[in-house]
Amino acid sequence: MTKQQRPTGPPTGTAADGPEPAAQQAPDGAAPPEPGTGAETRARPVVGEDTVEAVIRGQLSKALGGKRGMLEGAVPTIMFTASYLLTQQVPLAVGLGVGAAVVLAVVRLVQRSSLQFVFNSLLGIAIAAVFALRSGEAEDAFLPGIIYNAVYAGVMILTIMARWPVVGLLIGSVTGDLTSWRDDPAILRLCSRLTWLLVAPCVIRVVVQYPLWLGGMVGWLGTAKIAMGWPLQVAAFAAMVWLLARNRTPMRAAAPSAPAP
């Protein structure tokens, strides 16, 4: 009786194979990962916005803070300028300006709302108070803002010259990839133009307010600071929106289709 030959491996379709591995299911609306691309092991961050325009508009809407944020930024300056023009007393004007910012912060705390914009206002008026009280000259309360705008404009211009514009870094922070936006020349040019529009308000403030500071013109300094605060910034953002409407630049170029086998 011959010995029955054993098969070298389990027959196909038997239990020895074990359960068939389930095909990887892609989320609704998403294509399954292609083999060999590395998508099976690591997922790329998903960016909801598919254009540079959408990313920038979303960030600008957060930066404005609405009407209340603009008002909170202007009230301490109005209080300081008006009280100094009426009393010619620097300590009193400083105290009223700082007090107005503190009141706004307390209201925010009571309402349990964001302190971001009122904190910026409080910090700004506090620094201005230090300058004014140290020199005893009311116009020196406006010097920190002039210095800030000059430095801010200089830094942004340097980022444009280095081909790393600030707006591009903003896009990189949103997408999770700080460098890929530079691979597309169209996006790089658009980001540079948008950054120039952010530079413009800072340069205008310095050009207008610095001569007023030299002349000790406190009333005109206060007026210029308010008029060139949020109103000028809103104008710059409107110019950015106009530019964005003209440049429908995709976040990433479409991948070239693979040649048919």
33 assigned to some structural domain: no
39 assigned to some structural domain: no
How many structural domains comprise the chain? Answer: 1
- Calpha distance 254→177 (Å, rounded): 17
The parent domain of residue 241 ranges over 52-246
- Calpha distance 113→104 (Å, rounded): 11
109 assigned to some structural domain: yes
Residue-wise pLDDT tens digits, 135-145 = 888 999 999 99
19 assigned to some structural domain: no
Residue-wise pLDDT tens digits, 26-67 = 444 444 545 544 444 444 443 333 456 666 666 666 655 566
Category of 78 on φ-ψ map: left (φ > 0), alpha (ψ -120 to 50) or beta: alpha
Category of 9 on φ-ψ map: left (φ > 0), alpha (ψ -120 to 50) or beta: beta
- pLDDT mean over 151-171: 91
**pLDDT given at position 230:** 78
Cβ contacts of 57-60, under 8 Å, gap ≥ 24: 57/241, 57/244, 58/174, 59/170, 59/174, 60/237, 60/240, 60/241
Residue-wise pLDDT tens digits, 89-118 = 888 888 988 888 888 888 888 888 777 777
257 assigned to some structural domain: no
26 assigned to some structural domain: no
251 assigned to some structural domain: no
**pLDDT given at position 115:** 73
> Residue 193: which H helix or E strand, with range?
helix 185-214
Secondary structure (H, E, C), 110-167: HHCCCCHHHHHHHHHHHHHHHHHHHHCCHHHHHHHHHHHHHHHHHHHHHHHHCCCCHH
- pLDDT mean over 145-152: 94
184 contact partners, CB below 8 Å, separation of at least 6: 249, 252, 253
231 assigned to some structural domain: yes
